[in-house]
Each structure stands twice: as C-alpha cells, then as structure tokens.
Amino acid sequence: MKEFDYIIIGGGCAGLSLAYELEIHNKLKDKTLAIIEPRLEYKKDKSWSFWKTTDHNFEDCVKKSWKNFSINIPDKIKHLVCDKLPYQSIDSGLFYEKINSRLRQNQNISFYKDISEINLNNSFIFNSVPSLESSENKLWQHFKGVEIETTKNVFDDEIINLMDFDCKQLDSVHFFYTLPYEKNKALVETTWLSGMNNDLEMDYDEQLKNYIENHLNIKHYKINYTEKGAIPLFYPSNINEKNKINIGTAGGMTRLSTGYAFLNIQEHSRFIRENIENIKNVQKYEIRKKYKFLDKIFLRVLKRHPKEMPNIFFKMFNNSPETVIKFLSNKSSMFEDLLIILKMPKWIFIKSLLK
C-alpha cells in the first residue's frame, strides 16, 4: 500500500483549508499528501459567516460583506455599524471548487475515499473527523437555513439581522438569522442552542415558513438552497497523538459560545504551515484559555437560565460593536473582556462561576 508524508483525514473545511495553505506556500513540492474524503461529490452544503478580524485565503469566495447589523428581542432593536470589521459570508461551493481545482494540479497530492486504502504507519496525520461519543446532555447549536428568492425586492441588502429573539423559546435559546445577499435573496435560519432533546425544536420547516410569511411578511418566494446542521458546543474527545494533530471541529477550533469556527480553522492552518518542518515537536494550537474559561461559564448560564439569554446577548451589544466583535472572534484585550463582563448580569454569572 502507498505511503505518504502527510495524510489529511476529512476533506471538509479544515482539511481542505490546510491542504490549500500548504500548497500555496510550496510546502508540497517535495512532500506527498493523501486526502481521505468519503463524499462522492463536492457541492455547496454550507455558508460560512464570520467577522473578518484577520485576512484569509478565500476573499474570492465571499458572497457578500456587510458593515451594518441588527439584533433584537421582543419590543427592542439595536442597529449597529462596524466599518473596520465587516461580516462576511463564504459560499462553500466556491470554496470547494477553488481548492480542489488547485490541489488537483499537484501530482504529489492524492485523493482517497477510505483510510483503509493507504498505509498510515510512517505518515504525519491531520485528522478532522470529530469523536462525539457520549455527547448526551451536551449543548448543541442546531439549525436549518433556507436561501429564498422573492418576486419583489423586499430586503435591505446592506444590513444583516444577526439575532432575532422575537420567537418562541420553549425551554431553550432560539433566534432567527437573516443574511440578505441581494434585495430579493436572503439566507434565513432558525437556530437553537439546546440539548437537541425537544422534538418541537426540530420542526424547522414549519418555523421557517411561519417566520418568513408572518414575521418577515413575505408571501411570494421560492427556496433555492437549504442547509441544516448541528455544531457541538463542547469539545470532541479526540486526542492529539505523537504523529497526529486534530484540526477543525475535532481540533477544538469552534468557539463554544458562538459556534464560529471558520477563521479559527484558517489561523490553525497558518500555524501548521509555519511549523510544518518541525510539526512533530510543536505545542498544541488552541483557542486562548481565557476564552475557553469565559465560554464555559457562559454556557453554564445558558444551560441554567435559557430565558435570560436573549437579554444577555442584547446587553452584550451595549458595548461598542467593535469590542463585542473582537470578543466573539477571540481578538479582545483584557480591557475589552472586562467591558463585556461588566455588561453581564452579575449575580447569575457569579453563581455559575462558583459551581
């Protein structure tokens, strides 16, 4: 069986981002790489959105950027502007196409559907398949989104609605999210933060229909694309071994309080590329400990006091948008962290800190 210098298990966001980063920096000129990916074909299956707090390799896959956003709870709305750090949305179809067409030009890169087809013994492995066993009682961000096209121009395509909490919450945290790509096209998502144990929450189609028709007041539209997913708001149990580094969700690149992972994955890829010659000896790359600690408390509050969460998210944005965005994107200073913490309801957080 064939042997390779590097093996990437899972050719999704993290696997392909890493392969691309290595390829464009000429790290695969004299090294061989195998990418193991079972999917039969690549097509658009996600939209990756995030605040652009660092540069990345996929500016040409950005469907749209926005500088204006809103967040609302029943009876209150905040309009916010952030010129410096726009919110971007990447089309995964363009991303897959761009990366795969580049990688296929390098004969040192091979593609396989199953790990059993190659010899792993002497390779360095980057694994992006998360181990999610024993995940009962854990929190997930689970959602379904539809990209709709309306007959008339109904959207203001300069502003996104980041979180609309004016909807039924059950005993969870629930919001809708609207990204208007054009005046007549938008991605509308129903998002839940919960244990995924309530069937009523899974009634995504009915929720979306009701929201689009009765809340956004759009009666004439068609659905062009659908995405559905669940992001674990806990770290998978994959462990790094001597010749193996976990990447992507498996590598703990999800920010647990937000579910955002795309830019963390890009930064991890850059780190690996910078250290590839000495990869066996580098320290584990992690989201900074202070965010892990703060997110742990935040999720404890979320689990115990779901009803308070719309207000908590809303209040967080009493800070300047730049401060909040930097905090949610792991780029805040201690002072900015403090500003965020001071806006939180003290007693609930202190109680959750203590146990």
Binding site for ligand FAD (CB under 6 A): 9-15, 36-39, 46-50, 115, 128-129, 227, 229, 231, 248-250, 259-262, 265
Q: How far is the CB of 9 from ligand FAD (least distance, A)?
A: 5
Q: Which is nearer to ligand FAD, 8 or 339 (CB)?
A: 8
Q: Which is nearer to ligand FAD, 43 or 209 (CB)?
A: 43
CA nearest 268: which of 253, 288, 280, 283? 253
Element containing residue 222 per DSSP (H, E) = strand 221-232
Q: How far is the CB of 52 from ligand FAD (least distance, A)?
A: 11
User: Strands, DSSP E only, in 92-218?
Assistant: 109-112, 124-127, 140-150, 159-164, 173-182, 185-194
Q: How far is the CB of 276 from ligand FAD (least distance, A)?
A: 18
- How far apart are alpha carbons 218 and 204 in whole angstroms? 17
Q: How far is the CB of 220 from ligand FAD (least distance, A)?
A: 27
- How far apart are alpha carbons 240 and 124 in whole angstroms? 11
Q: What are phi and psi of 115, to 5 degrees?
A: -60, -25
Q: How far is the CB of 38 from ligand FAD (least distance, A)?
A: 5
Q: Which is nearer to ligand FAD, 80 or 118 (CB)?
A: 118
In this structure, the strands spanning 87-91 and 185-194 are unpaired
Q: Which is nearer to ligand FAD, 16 or 302 (CB)?
A: 16
Tokens 């990209």 locate to 147
Q: How far is the CB of 153 from ligand FAD (least distance, A)?
A: 25
If 0-12 CB within 10 Å is exposed, 13-18 middle and 19+ buried, where does residue 147 land?
buried
Q: Which is nearer to ligand FAD, 54 or 311 (CB)?
A: 54
Q: Which is nearer to ligand FAD, 188 or 261 (CB)?
A: 261
- How far apart are alpha carbons 272 and 211 in whole angstroms? 43
Q: How far is the CB of 112 from ligand FAD (least distance, A)?
A: 9
Q: Around Cβ 199, how many Cβ atoms within 10 Å? A: 7
In this structure, the strands spanning 140-150 and 221-232 are antiparallel
- How far apart are alpha carbons 341 and 339 in whole angstroms? 6
Contact 178, 160 (CB under 8 A): yes
Q: Where are the alpha helices (DSSP H) in 197-261?
A: 204-210
Q: Which is nearer to ligand FAD, 59 or 171 (CB)?
A: 59
Q: Which is nearer to ligand FAD, 172 or 266 (CB)?
A: 266
Q: How far is the CB of 311 from ligand FAD (least distance, A)?
A: 24
Q: Closest CB to ligand FAD belongs to which residue? A: 12
